[in-house]
Structure 1
Amino acid sequence: MTANCPKHILLFSGKRKSGKDFLTDHLFEKIGAKNCTIVRLSAPIKSHWAKVNGLELDKLLGTSQYKENHRAAMIEWSEAERLKDNGIFIRSAITMANANEKSIWIVSDMRRRSDLKWFIDNYPEVCKTIRVVCDDAVRKERGWVFTAGIDDAETECDLDNVDQSEWNWIIRNNGTLQDVSSELSEIVATCIQ
């Protein structure tokens, strides 16, 4: 286990437009900024990409078409970097979020089995896994359009076949916040015990 170990790490995974950010932002508000932070694994990738290419980081971090326009190139570059060092973006994301100062980490965007393995190997006693699932029809209502080379790539599909028993929670996010309130309350209760 590494130094400054948090009490809880919530590892969220799900497809694009499944509502991961919406749910993790809500949990952050419920738990509170005093003890909690959101670790966005894609943040260091987007930060570097913005600097190198003269792009607007805020737009890359959001949910806009701007991000989608740059997604494929960012993925290609980041995959090459990950092959050199699997933890490069994870460690950087933890630093960017000042996570070592907080007792609860919400990792909002797990994408790969290697990310999951890294957290479980480094923080085996405190990780909880959450899979957010959502029907494609609802994702489309939220603005998702299937994009070859993205939606069929490792970044979207690597965690699809993880056995359901390996997730601590599976949240079906097809409706409103009220529809998932019992699962979210259970997660909050686990963190504040």
Structure 2
Amino acid sequence: FFLNIFRLKPEDCSIIRLSAPLKKQYSIEHNLDYDRLLDSSPYKEAHRLQMIQWGERKRESDPGYFCHLATEEQDKPVWLVSDCRRPSDVEYFKSHYSTGPAPFPAYSCCVLVRVSASDEVRRSRGWGWVGGVDDGPSECALDEVSCDYHVINNGIEEQLDVKLKELLNFIHKSLK
């Protein structure tokens, strides 16, 4: 999806999901079905709160734990991190990849992009607010963090295209 939107070649770009290594480790330690934790099924929802709490404990001892797991084998010049949830996630990428220590120092740059949609649109896509989860740090911790680009995805193609073109131009300039 992201590669198509940004018109990037798979050999140039990796989609990094911080939730994937979290869910992988959690599934191993709790003998759960990893693939089912990746979807939006009732199975995942039944484990969601405990998984969030477990992830918080891991982050307390090492704030960059899941970021490191997600990036340790990445070797492409563009990384799209699809699910930063905490200020510590943002800080990890800014501190490690804004000044040049990345595998591609010529391209090293960290751009924070927020993708959002209205609650009405999110509900039409199947989302439902859950107290104690959707108002917790895993969902709200970045609400006040400023971003470099804010992409609103309420299904209005023209608005989405304008912001994506801005971001795409920046990415392509960075690759030159």
| TM-score (norm. length: structure 1) | 0.78
Aligned: 1:187 with 2:170:
no
Looking at structure 1, the residues matched to 56 and 93 of structure 2 have their Cα atoms a distance apart, in angstroms, of 18
Partner of 2:105: none
Residues 61-109 of structure 1: per-residue CA shift (max 9 Å, x gap): 22333322221111000100110011111100112xx31x100000000
Q: Tell me the residue number matched to 2:131.
A: 148
Task: Note closer, same or farther for the CA distance 1:32–1:67 as it changes in structure 2 (3 Å cut).
Answer: farther
Please report the TM-score for the alignment, with normalisation by the length of structure 2.
Answer: 0.85
Instruction: Say whether residues 1:167 and 2:141 are aligned partners.
Output: no
Question: Which of 75, 78, 87 pairs up with 1:113?
Answer: 87
* Residues 1:39 and 2:16 are matched in the alignment: yes
How far the C-alpha of 1:50 sits from its partner, in A, is 1.6
| CA root-mean-square deviation | 1.8
Equivalent position amino acid for 1:157 in 2: C
Larger Rg: 2
Partner of 2:52: 75
For the 8 Å contact 2:3–2:10, the answer to whether it is kept is no
Superposition deviation, residue 60 in structure 1? 1.5
Which blocks of at least 5 consecutive residues in structure 2 are unaligned?
100-108
Q: Which runs of 5+ in 1 are unaligned?
A: 1-21
Q: How many angstroms does 1:177 deviate by?
A: 4.6
Q: Paired residues, what number?
A: 164
Deviation larger for 182-191 or 71-80: 182-191
The one of 19, 23, 30 equivalent to 1:53 is 30
Equivalent in the alignment of 1:157 = 140
Q: Residue 63 of structure 2 corresponds to which residue in structure 1?
A: 86
SS at match of 2:82: strand
SS of aligned partner of 2:112: strand
- Deviations, residues 37-74 of structure 1 (Å, cap 9, x unaligned): 01111111100122223322222122333322221111
CA distance in 2, matches of 1:155, 1:145: 15
CA distance in 1, matches of 2:97, 2:133: 29
Match of residue 10 from structure 1? none
Q: Which has the higher contact order (CA 8 A, sep 6+)?
A: 1
> Which letter does structure 1 place at the counterpart of 2:43?
Y
SS at match of 1:76: helix
| 3-state SS in 2 of match to 1:59 | helix
Q: Distance in 1 between matches of 2:122 and 2:92?
A: 29
Query: How far apart are the structure 2 equivalents of 1:178 and 1:143?
Result: 23
